[in-house]
Amino acid sequence: MTVGSQVKSCFSSIKSAEATIQLLASKTQKYEAHAKFKEAEKIMASIKNDLQKQVIQLTKEEPQYK
């Protein structure tokens, strides 16, 4: 596995986690839990953005494994 694909798989795991958090946030009836899930969702979104940049950069660096 190249570094690029490793980062990519991590990126998709982050995406899946973000989606699950989103789901839990909308499902829960507890106000406090809802707020915390929303906050976590924001953090996950920012991590996702950062990683996305990294993925693009790595694909540029390793074009042969694209």
Partner 1 sequence: MPGWITLIVKSLILLVALFFLTKWLGKKHLSHMNIFEYISGVVLGGIVAIHTVTPESNIIYGLIAMFIWFIIPFGVELFSLKSKTFRNFTQGKSTVFIQDGKIMEDNLKKEGYSTDDLLEKLRDNNIFLASDVEFAVLEPTGTLSVLPKRENRPLTAKDLGLNLAPDKEPQTVIMDGKVLLEPLANLNLNKNWLETELDKMNVSIENVFLGQADHDGQLYVDLYDDKLVVPEPSEKPLLLATMKKCQADLELFALATENVESKELYERNSRKLQHATELIRPFLK
Closer CB to partner 1, residue 53 or residue 66? 53
Q: Which of 5, 8, 52, 54 binds partner 1 (CB under 8 A)?
A: 54
Asked if 47 and 14 count as a contact pair (C-beta separation under 8 A), the reply is yes
Of the pair 39, 64, the CB lying nearest partner 1 is at 39
Angstrom distance (rounded) from CA 3 to CA 59: 10
Residue 60 to residue 36: CA distance in whole angstroms: 37
Is 36 among the residues that bind partner 1 (CB under 8 A)? yes
Binding of partner 1 by 2 (CB under 8 A): no
